[in-house]
Structure 1
């Protein structure tokens, strides 16, 4: 199943996308949020669809695409989870997952405009697989238990400001990760049965020029390991979003220039959809 949220920011309509048809989920839920994801949502939607109680949403194609999940309680990120990216960053691949945080207000629609922070000279792109939690997870006994706690997967762009992240960070990365809108997400939340999550192609482009091209099978720590590991330190709750790291091919590696106002970034993960953002200057948003 593919879930989306369509409409103006703050007024998105929850929908099911199936066979090029878009079904309004408001008879079942007001949003694709933690409460919905924790409520055996796939079975409920399947039953409603079979019963004919879900109507198609008129003019769905004309509506803005929002993040496919409502504002999460937490956005937890894993750094340097692809060996080649670790090396291009000047680091050895980690032996345990590196964790940092983004703020919930970084999560925006997949095609929303992204504002480059005031004074930024090193704004960067990062295509990432996002994991959406569907059931609370604390102290899982093994990675094999992770699947029961995952609602689905999303495309995410972990936009980063490298000066803030590395040079004025005080030793933590989050300063470079938390500007408003720095996590375009979607277009869809795709349930686990739809994808082979450890064999998905990830790609990015800047102004139509290829940047990243890798596969989730190159992760150092796979999805199950990440969820299990995080559960030893934080209680994961329904609706939380985990970003699982980016492959090589970002500006921080030194081969490509950082983003400038007017640049357009495309992000894509096989089976999870495509997103596109124009980057604009902070001054232009006043």
Structure 2
């Protein structure tokens, strides 16, 4: 409608007063759903570090640090917090950096892709997982318009991943698992997928994670239901239902597509 209008995505942080990066948005960004935040504005610098504050290679997710003219002096009367968040640049000691707490990775073009907050990083069954990476992969599906992934606790206190999404059509668990598994390892495939009409937001427009519903079986598994045909199959189906918390299990169902994982498999065997 307005072909001469240019859209600019600007990533900003209050403590760096205030914009850090800029990126001109084209049809490519809109089609790929890539959260490209671009490059730093001329008066600021950016670094992506690992936990030991070493630069990570291109394509590897790390924490984004910001330097340059916009970096504030600190938090008023909060010396401990200031020391934690405003640090010396390990490569240029004379430069002060702000530790953003945001996850990003450098793209081959030199631009950066944003992956969300570092406190959305979770550890499940020994694996450290960036929820933003799973969300990004979900958004690459042509039918998915919005997506968020949450780590939740089951009845035994074990963490599992649940994906919430808004899509233009009906998608099965099998399709979604295959789509995520084409780019990410098995341990990053959510146990549950929940289709929503809308994703709840807080008053300031951020995703209200506390308002997301508990999964109740997710979406259609994509497998036709075949009822147990023998007493043994009926007993096995009941054990699966008890272990997985499912309302109904058919003889053709896949243990992992129903939310199973290695620890639940051990419970199943027991």
CA radius of gyration, larger in: 2
Using CA pairs below 8 Å that are at least 6 residues apart, which structure has the higher relative contact order?
1
- Give TM-score scaled by structure 1 length: 0.22
- Give TM-score scaled by structure 2 length: 0.23
